[in-house]
C-alpha cells in the first residue's frame, strides 16, 4: 500500500475509530515505556538486594572464621558454616589456602566451580563479581581473605545464585505481555465510547445539513446542550446559513425585480413591432417604430447596467480605488455637468462648505450626480438646489436639498429600495426605473458610510450622504455615469 493510499484509507475512517486507534497507539507507546522503566527499576532493585545479601553473609562468615582456632580445625567446625548457609539454597561457599588455592572446604558442587571461575569473573563493583556455571546459570560472588583465631589466613568464595531473580523478571515480562493486549483493548473500547459520546452533538450538524434545502434555509443549529467546544462551531455554522439565506434571498429578489422591470419594455417592444408588422407600412412609419424601439432598448440597457452595478456592489466583488477627495470640488464638477439640465427649468445650483474624505472619485461623483439629478428633476421651477458640505469629527456629510413636493413619511424608509417609486406613473414617463437611490445606497455602503432622506411638510426635501472617518475599500464596479435615475 502506497503512502497516498494509506493516507486516503485513514482519512475515510470515522472520527470515532480514528480517535480510538490513536488512543491505542499512544497507549502502546506509554505502556511500553512504563514496562521498560519498570523492568529496569526492578532489575536494579534485585541487584542491590543481592549485593546487600552477599555483604551481610560475608560479615557473618568472617565472624565465624574468627572463632575457629586454626585452618586445620575448619573440617571439624563444618556444621557452623552449614548453619550460616541453612535456608539459603542459592548461597554457595568454598574455602581455600591463600597461597595454593587448594580447597579446604566446599559446601556444594557449585562452590567448587567458583574457585576457578572467579579468576575470569566480571566485576560489578569493588567487591562483587559475576561468574557463569557450565550450564549457563549466572551467579554473583564475593571473595576475599579472612583470619582464624591463630591469625592464619583463609581465602573464601561466597556465591549467590540469581535464578530466583531471573524467574521473577521473566514472570514480570510474561505477565506484562499477557496483560498488554487486554489493557490496550480496554483503552480502545473506552476511547471509542468516550469519542462516540462526546461527538454525539455533531449529529445535529449532520441532521441539519441533510434537511436544509432552498425552501428551508431558515433552519439553524440549536445551542441547547452543546458543549463549549462546539458552541463557536454552531455559531459559525448558523452564521454561514444566515449568509447563504441572505444571498439566496437577494438572488430571488434580484431575479423577480429584474424580470418584473424588464417585462414592460419587452412587452412594449413586442407590441410595437407586432403592430408594425400587422399591415404594410411606409418607410417613415417603420422609421418611427424603430426610433421608439431604440428608446425602449436604451432604457432596457440602462436598467441591466444598473442592476449589474448594484449586484456587484452587494457582493463586494472588487476593491475600491480610494484617494483623498475634496467634496466641494467634486460637487462643483457634478453641478457644472448638470448645469444645462438645471437651466432648462430655471434652477440654480449652489455648493457650500468644504471637507476632505477618502473614497473612489468616480463612484462618489456618481452618487452625487444621482442625488443632484434627482433633486433637479423634482424641484419646483425657478427654485434653488443646495449642496451643503459639513466637516465633522466623526467624518463628513454632503446634503442635497430642493424645494418641491414633500414626500409622505411612510415612503421615506423605502426610498433606497430597488425599483421603489413614490409616483410610478411619473417615474416611467421620465424614463426612470427606480434604481438611482439604490445605487447611491450601494456606493455609500461600499465606502462604509450611509445615506438618508428627510422631507418637511413645507416641501423641503434633503438627501444626505454620510462619510465615515475611516472607510473600508471593497469594490471597483462600473465607473459609468449612465443610469442616473430618480426614486421620488
Let me know if the fold of 15-169 is the same as that of 318-468: no
Lowest mean pLDDT among 74-78, 300-304, 390-394: 300-304
Is pLDDT of 271 > 70?
yes
Q: Which residues of 307-322 are buried (b: 16+ CB within 10 A; e: fewer)?
A: bebbbbbbeeeeebeb
* Beta partners for residue 352, in sequence order: 388
Nearest to 346 by CA among 385, 386, 378, 382: 382
Separation CA 277–CA 286 (nearest Å):
9
Q: How far is CA 240 from CA 26, 218, 235, 246, 247, in A?
A: 36, 11, 9, 10, 10
> What's the CA gap between 311 and 317, in Å, rounded?
9
Give the end-to-end CA distance of the chain in Å, rounded to a whole number. Answer: 72
Three cell numbers at 480? Answer: 459609468
Question: Which residue has better confidence, 483 or 170?
Answer: 170
Mean pLDDT, rounded, for 55-83: 88
Burial of 293 (0-12, 13-18, 19+ CB in 10 A): middle
Q: How far apart are CA 129 and CA 51, in angstroms?
A: 10
| Gap between the Cα atoms of 283 and 339, Å rounded | 38
Q: CA 263, CA 265: separation in Å to the nearest integer?
A: 6
Mean of per-residue pLDDT scores for the chain:
79
272, 414, 429, 438 from 375: Cα distances, Å: 33, 17, 17, 15
- Domain spanning 15-169 has what CATH number? 3.30.450
Taking Cα atoms as reference points, which of 380, 406, 389, 391 lies closest to residue 350? Answer: 389
Which of residues 336 and 393 earns the better pLDDT score? 336
pLDDT at 385 over 70: yes
Instruction: Look at the block and give the residue holding cell 568472617.
Output: 62
What is the 8-class DSSP label of residue 418? T
Residue 407 phi, psi dihedral angles, 5° rounding: -105, 130
Q: What is the pLDDT of residue 478?
A: 38
**Whole-angstrom distance, CA of residue 143 vs CA of residue 116:** 12
Report the length, in residues, of the chain: 488
Q: Which residue has the higher pLDDT, 33 or 249?
A: 33
pLDDT band, very low/low/confident/very high, at 350 (cuts 50, 70, 90): very high
Q: How far, in Å, CA of 431 to CA of 294, rounded? A: 13
**186-208: b (≥16 Cβ within 10 Å) or e:** ebbeebbeebeeeeebeebeeeb
Sign of CA dihedral 373, 378, 383, 385: negative
For residue 113 the three cell numbers come to 566451580
Q: What is the per-residue pLDDT across 178-236, written as a single tens digit (0 to 9) for each?
A: 888 888 888 888 888 887 777 777 777 767 777 777 676 777 777 776 777 677 778 88
* Cα dist from 138 to 363, 386, 396, 410, 476, whole Å: 96, 112, 97, 105, 88
Cα separation, 463 vs 451, in Å, equals 7
Tell me what pLDDT residue 218 has: 75
pTM reported for the whole predicted model: 0.47
- Whose cell is 567448587? That residue is 112
Cα 368 versus chain centre, distance: 43
CA distances from 310 to 7, 287, 416, 434, 452 (A): 46, 35, 12, 12, 18
- Give the mean model confidence (pLDDT) for residues 155-170: 89
Can you list the positions of beta strands (E) in 312-394?
322-326, 348-352, 356-360, 384-392
Give 318-468's CATH code, choosing from 3.30.470.20, 3.30.565.10, 3.40.1190.20, 3.20.20.70.
3.30.565.10
Query: What is the pLDDT at residue 319?
Result: 63
The pLDDT value given to residue 388: 94
Looking at the predicted structure, is the pLDDT value of residue 6 above 50?
no
Among 104-113, 142-151, 415-424, whose mean pLDDT is lowest?
415-424
Q: Residue written as cell 583463609?
A: 154
Band (425; pLDDT cuts 50, 70, 90): very low
Annotated domain spans of the chain: 15-169, 201-315, 318-468
| Grid coordinates of 145 | 581473605
- Please state, as a whole number, how many other Cβ atoms lie within 10 Å of the Cβ of residue 479: 13
Which residues make Cβ contacts (< 8 Å) with residue 471, sequence separation at least 6? 320, 322, 357, 358, 359, 447, 448, 449
Give the Cβ contact number of residue 250 at 10 Å: 14
User: pLDDT tens digits for 431-486?
Assistant: 445 678 888 888 888 888 899 998 887 778 999 999 987 653 333 433 333 333 43
> Of all helices (H) and strands (E), which one includes residue 57?
helix 15-66
Bridge partners, residue 398, by sequence: 389, 465
pLDDT grade for 1, boundaries at 50, 70 and 90? low
Compute, in degrees rounded to 10, the torsion defined by CA atoms 82, 85, 91, 97.
Answer: -50
Closest C-alpha among 71, 64, 62 to residue 146: 62
- Res. 329: pLDDT tops 90: yes
Q: How far apart are CA 68 and CA 76, in angstroms?
A: 10
Amino acid at each position: 500500500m502506497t503512502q497516498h493510499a494509506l493516507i486516503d484509507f485513514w482519512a475515510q475512517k470515522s472520527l470515532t475509530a480514528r480517535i480510538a486507534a490513536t488512543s491505542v497507539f499512544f497507549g502502546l507507546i506509554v505502556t511500553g515505556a512504563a514496562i521498560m522503566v519498570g523492568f529496569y527499576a526492578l532489575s536494579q532493585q534485585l541487584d542491590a538486594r543481592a549485593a546487600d545479601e552477599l555483604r551481610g553473609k560475608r560479615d557473618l562468615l568472617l565472624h565465624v572464621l574468627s572463632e575457629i582456632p586454626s585452618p586445620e580445625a575448619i573440617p571439624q567446625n563444618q556444621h557452623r558454616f552449614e548453619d550460616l548457609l541453612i535456608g539459603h539454597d542459592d548461597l554457595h561457599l568454598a574455602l581455600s589456602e591463600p597461597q595454593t588455592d587448594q580447597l579446604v572446604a566446599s559446601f556444594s558442587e557449585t562452590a567448587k566451580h567458583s574457585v576457578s571461575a572467579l579468576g575470569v569473573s566480571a566485576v560489578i563493583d569493588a567487591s562483587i563479581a559475576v561468574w557463569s556455571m557450565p550450564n549457563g546459570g549466572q551467579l554473583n560472588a564475593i571473595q576475599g581473605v579472612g583470619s582464624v583465631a591463630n591469625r592464619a589466613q583463609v581465602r573464601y568464595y561466597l556465591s549467590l545464585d540469581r535464578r530466583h531473580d531471573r524467574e521473577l523478571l521473566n514472570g514480570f515480562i510474561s505477565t506484562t505481555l499477557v496483560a498488554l493486549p487486554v489493557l490496550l483493548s480496554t483503552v480502545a473500547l473506552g476511547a471509542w465510547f468516550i469519542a462516540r459520546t462526546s461527538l454525539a452533538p455533531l449529529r445535529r450538524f449532520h441532521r441539519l445539513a441533510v434537511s436544509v434545502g432552498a425552501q428551508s434555509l431558515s433552519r439553524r443549529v440549536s445551542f441547547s446542550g452543546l458543549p463549549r467546544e462546539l458552541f463557536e462551531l454552531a455559531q459559525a455554522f448558523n452564521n454561514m446559513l444566515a449568509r447563504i439565506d441572505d444571498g439566496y434571498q437577494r438572488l430571488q429578489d434580484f431575479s423577480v425585480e429584474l424580470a418584473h422591470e424588464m417585462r414592460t419594455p419587452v412587452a412594449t417592444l413586442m407590441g410595437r413591432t407586432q403592430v408594425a408588422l400587422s399591415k404594410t407600412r411606409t418607410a417613415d412609419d417603420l422609421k418611427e417604430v424603430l426610433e421608439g424601439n431604440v428608446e425602449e432598448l436604451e432604457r432596457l440597457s440602462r436598467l441591466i447596467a444598473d442592476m449589474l452595478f448594484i449586484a456587484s456592489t452587494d457582493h463586494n466583488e472588487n476593491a475600491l480605488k480610494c484617494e483623498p477627495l475634496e467634496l466641494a470640488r467634486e460637487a462643483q464638477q457634478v453641478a457644472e455637468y448638470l448645469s444645462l439640465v438645471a437651466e432648462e427649468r430655471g434652477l440654480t445650483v449652489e455648493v457650500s462648505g468644504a471637507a476632505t474624505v477618502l473614497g473612489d472619485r468616480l463612484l462618489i461623483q456618481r452618487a452625487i450626480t444621482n442625488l443632484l439629478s434627482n433633486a433637479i428633476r423634482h424641484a419646483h421651477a425657478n427654485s434653488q438646489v443646495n449642496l451643503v458640505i459639513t466637516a465633522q469629527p466623526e467624518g463628513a456629510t454632503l446634503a442635497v436639498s430642493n424645494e418641491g413636493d414633500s414626500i409622505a413619511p411612510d415612503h421615506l424608509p423605502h426610498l433606497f429600495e430597488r425599483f421603489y417609486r413614490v409616483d410610478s406613473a411619473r417615474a416611467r414617463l421620465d424614463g426612470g426605473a427606480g434604481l438611482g437611490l439604490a445605487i447611491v445606497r450601494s456606493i455609500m455602503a461600499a465606502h462604509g458610510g450611509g445615506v438618508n432622506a428627510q422631507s418637511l411638510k413645507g416641501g423641503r426635501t434633503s438627501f444626505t450622504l454620510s462619510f465615515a472617518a475611516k472607510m473600508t475599500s471593497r469594490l471597483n464596479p462600473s465607473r459609468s455615469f449612465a443610469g442616473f435615475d430618480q426614486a421620488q
